[in-house]
């Protein structure tokens, strides 16, 4: 992780809800996030540090209530066993911000049979059309 900041520094740059999810490992409500049903072409980056995490080509409709991706940009996301012992937490490799969880073996018709269940508030989207 290259972007080490104090909790006070994170609070100064993140909204209270972003801080709760990204830094305190919270979860936003299902079906409420702005990227749940968002399918424009582009890149989803970390809302904390702007590191690119996912491309729209890896996003799919899972019906789970949160944005779902079957893979991340190589090296962008780290995986850790969740303290509950049942899930795998995913965090931004660059800043350690909490993104959500990975679920495996659910039978979705994707190349990885993984679902990266990501909080919308942990992401910022940049459209392909917006690139300079």
Q: Compute mean pLDDT per 10 residues along the chain, 132 residues long, and list them.
A: 80 96 96 95 97 97 96 97 89 97 94 96 91 53
Question: C-alpha angle with apex 74: 3 to 39, nearest 5 degrees?
Answer: 95
Structure confidence at residue 1 (pLDDT) = 46
Classify residue 20: in a domain, yes or no. yes
Structure confidence at residue 3 (pLDDT) = 67
Q: What are phi and psi of 6, to 5 degrees?
A: -75, 165
Q: Are 55 and 74 in contact (CB under 8 A)?
A: no
- Domain span holding position 86: 7-130
Active-site option among 49, 92, 95, 117: 117
Number of domain units in the chain: 1
117 is an active site residue: yes
Structure confidence at residue 131 (pLDDT) = 57
Classify residue 2: in a domain, yes or no. no
Identify the CATH number of the domain in which residue 83 sits: 2.170.150.20
Classify residue 1: in a domain, yes or no. no
């Amino acid at each position: 992780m290259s972007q080490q900041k104090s909790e006070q520094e994170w609070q100064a740059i993140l909204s209270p809800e972003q801080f709760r999810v990204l830094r305190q490992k919270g979860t936003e409500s299902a079906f409420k996030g702005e990227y749940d049903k968002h399918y424009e072409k582009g890149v989803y980056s970390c809302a904390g540090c702007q590191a690119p995490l996912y491309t729209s080509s890896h996003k799919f409709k899972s019906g789970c209530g949160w944005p779902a991706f079957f893979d991340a940009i190589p090296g962008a996301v780290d995986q850790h066993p969740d303290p509950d012992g049942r899930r795998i937490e995913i965090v931004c490799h660059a800043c350690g911000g909490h993104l959500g969880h990975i679920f495996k073996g659910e039978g979705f018709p994707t190349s990885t049979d993984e679902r990266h269940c990501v909080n919308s508030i942990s992401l910022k989207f940049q459209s392909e059309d917006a690139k300079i």
